[in-house]
């Protein structure tokens, strides 16, 4: 379980620099839901009460919301998050399974006293931002960039992305891919036959074998990735 000192994370310089200026606990919950901790139960602890709810809050009541899979807990009017986090750490029955997220020394000391794991706020928010950045790049990557063999358009895409200079590439990387042999259509009734003997050689009786449709389909689907030599079982079975 994650126990997060929400404002300690949100007020860290890294969060202030990388997140939108008006980000609050709900946005932090969204990052957690989309990142590596999405399967963990997360409690986000905040000071006091939301301004819009303060007139309606009971003096001794905590306020709890469920946001993006996390539980958002406000300590209550006039109360601080640190005291509530300390109480939650002390009440935890399996503290070694608890990860406490804060750079506040008071909170870190309370967590270590119960042998809970401590994660500084900068490590936590940095990991969440990297997760979001990677997810964004993966989502926007054009489909043609993963097709094999690479098209000229895909090659230009990857060269520009990684700033690759052709002068730095080995010669074999610049050679065009060898074309695959032609494969009959799936519904073809053609058969593979042995090559015709030379005219001055004795002709052997013609012999043909039906083409395995699974092999034909594999050659079509894996064009450029599967070679006929790969189907030579003598290379795999030996004697």
Q: What is the number of H-type helices and E-type strands within the chain?
A: 9, 8
Render pLDDT for 15-57 as a digit per residue (tens, 0 to 9). Answer: 999 898 888 999 999 999 989 998 999 999 999 887 666 555 5
Q: Between vectors from CA 28 to CA 61 and to CA 129, what angle results, nearest 5°?
A: 160
Contact between 88 and 3 under an 8 Å Cβ cutoff? The reply is: yes
Residue of 94, 106, 123, 101 lying closest to 15 (CA atoms): 123
C-alpha–C-alpha distance, residues 97 and 117, integer Å? 8
Identify the pLDDT of residue 72.
93
Of the ranges 65-79, 113-127, 153-167, 224-238, the best mean pLDDT one: 113-127
Torsion sign, CA atoms 192, 194, 198, 204: negative
- Give the residue-averaged pLDDT of 85-113: 96
Residue 150 or residue 111, greater confidence: 111
Contact between 116 and 98 under an 8 Å Cβ cutoff? The reply is: yes
pLDDT band at 172 (very low <50, low <70, confident <90, very high): low
Identify the pLDDT of residue 215.
73
Render pLDDT for 50-96 as a digit per residue (tens, 0 to 9). Answer: 766 655 555 567 888 898 889 999 998 888 999 999 999 999 999 99
Contact between 155 and 143 under an 8 Å Cβ cutoff? The reply is: no
């Amino acid at each position: 379980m994650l126990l997060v000192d929400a404002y300690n994370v949100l007020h860290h310089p890294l969060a202030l620099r990388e997140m939108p200026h008006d980000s609050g606990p709900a946005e932090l919950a969204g990052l957690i839901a989309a990142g590596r901790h999405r399967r963990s139960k997360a409690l986000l602890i905040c000071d006091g009460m939301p301004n819009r709810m303060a007139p309606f809050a009971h003096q001794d009541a905590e306020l709890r919301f469920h946001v993006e899979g996390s539980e958002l807990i406000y300590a209550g009017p006039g109360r601080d998050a640190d005291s509530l986090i300390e109480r939650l750490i002390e009440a935890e029955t399996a503290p070694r399974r608890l990860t406490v997220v804060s750079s506040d020394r008071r909170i870190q000391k309370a967590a270590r006293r119960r042998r809970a794991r401590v994660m500084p706020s900068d490590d936590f928010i940095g990991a969440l931002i990297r997760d979001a950045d990677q997810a964004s790049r993966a989502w926007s990557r054009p489909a043609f960039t993963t097709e094999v063999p690479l098209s000229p358009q895909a090659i230009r895409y990857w060269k520009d992305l990684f700033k690759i200079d052709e002068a730095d590439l080995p010669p074999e990387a610049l050679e065009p891919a060898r074309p695959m042999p032609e494969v009959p259509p799936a519904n073809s009734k053609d058969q593979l036959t042995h090559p015709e003997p030379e005219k001055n050689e004795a002709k052997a009786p013609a012999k043909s074998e039906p083409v395995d449709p699974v092999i034909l389909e594999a050659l079509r689907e894996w064009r450029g990735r599967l070679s006929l030599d790969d189907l030579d079982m003598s290379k795999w079975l030996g004697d």
